[in-house]
Amino acid sequence: MNSIFRKTKGLICVLAAISIATLTFIPTTAQVRQKESNDFGNDAVVREWLEIPNVWNAPAKGKVPFHALMSGSAAFTSATTVEFYTTGYVTDLFRFTTSGIAFLDPPTGKCPGANNGIPNIHTETLTAASGDELVIQMVNVACPTGPFTFHGKGHWTVLSGTGRFQNVTGWGTNEGGADFEGGTFVMGFTGTLTFQ
């Protein structure tokens, strides 16, 4: 009888420990929804993004370093066009949402391992919380890294802007990747914005 009691007591302790672990480590529905709605997978990146102010006072004149990260969705809309919808931030400056389109050229042999790359012209409109827009254009080559995945590099320039970005010029480099099976996209930028 004593042996049965000890086994039952042990089983109850194990079940209690499992229950506590489940409550502690399994995310709530709200936490799961928050993660799903977040375009960034890295918690440190998310925290940094949330700390960037929604409103940024642009300098009257001068150069500002431009380091940005955007992440979101990518999908082919035809054999030669891809649309992008993302969110992102410019480090220490402002958060933004974007919409963009890339026009693809015929493949050429510009990738490692004799793979053909896909040259493309990719235009993105970055919209700050204030509604001000910065339009940038990238000239890239996307190299296949798998059946549905690509890694691309290129350079960007500012095409136009509104509001605080009305007379801004700028340029730099960009690098990122897309997974068209999963419909995901991430791109990083570095360079300089110049306020006239």
The predicted structure's pLDDT at residue 24:
31
Q: What is the pLDDT of residue 90?
A: 85
Instruction: Express each pLDDT in 99-129 by its tens digit.
Output: 999 999 999 988 887 789 999 999 999 998 8
pLDDT of residue 59: 58
Q: Which CATH class is domain 39-195?
A: mainly beta
Sign of CA dihedral 55, 184, 83, 194: positive
DSSP string, 68-137: EEEEEEEEEEETTEEEEEEEEEETTTEEEEEEEEEEEPPPBS-SGGGPPBEEEEEEEEEEETTS-EEEEE
pLDDT tens digit sequence for 148-166: 999 999 999 999 999 989 9
3-class SS at 177? Answer: strand
| Alpha carbons 167 and 179: distance in angstroms, whole number | 35
Longest dimension (CA), the chain: 88
Q: Which residues in the chain show pLDDT less than 50?
A: 1-50, 52-55
- Domain ranges across the chain: 2-31, 39-195
